């Protein structure tokens, strides 16, 4: 089974939660797109299908978050778009965690069916 993340399912909720906050429009724009791409990359690699520890949605969220956070430099001053670095780091990390939660909660049934049968 191929899991494709449909951003439109989540964009309204992400914009509602982050779009009205200070600098939230920036976070929900380019950064959200990057998070979706990296989440899809994690799903497509299917390394999670061989992880015996990944048997709950919580562990799935942790694994996906680790993958995304290893690919994004939250301290990169060129990505903060003139926002204080501490504020940018906080917003970007919260946005990442929230999107991963939405994605995993929505697709957990599909992910769980692709896990090895001995779980």
Each residue's pLDDT tens digit, 61-85: 999 999 999 998 777 666 654 567 7
35 near 96, Cβ under 8 Å? yes
Question: pLDDT above 90 covers what percent of the chain?
Answer: 34
Number of H helices, E strands in the chain: 5, 0
Question: For residues 107 and 31, which has the higher predicted lDDT (pLDDT)?
Answer: 107
- Region for 46 from its dihedrals, namely left if φ exceeds 0, alpha if ψ lies in -120 to 50, beta otherwise: left
Average pLDDT over residues 26-37: 81
Q: What is the residue-averaged pLDDT of the chain? A: 83
Q: The whole model's pTM is what?
A: 0.81
What pLDDT is stored for residue 119 in this prediction? 44
Alpha-carbon distance 100 to 94, whole Å?
A: 10
């Amino acid at each position: 089974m191929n899991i494709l993340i449909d951003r439109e399912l989540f964009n309204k909720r992400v914009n509602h939660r982050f779009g009205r906050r200070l600098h939230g429009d920036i976070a929900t724009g380019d950064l959200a797109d990057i998070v979706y791409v990296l989440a899809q990359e994690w799903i497509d690699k299917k390394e999670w299908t061989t992880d015996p520890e990944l048997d709950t949605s919580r562990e799935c969220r942790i694994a996906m978050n680790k993958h995304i956070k290893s690919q994004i430099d939250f301290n990169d001053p060129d990505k903060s778009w003139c926002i204080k670095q501490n504020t940018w780091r906080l917003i970007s990390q919260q946005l990442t965690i929230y999107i991963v939660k939405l994605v995993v909660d929505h697709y957990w049934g599909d992910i769980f069916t692709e896990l090895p049968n001995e779980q």
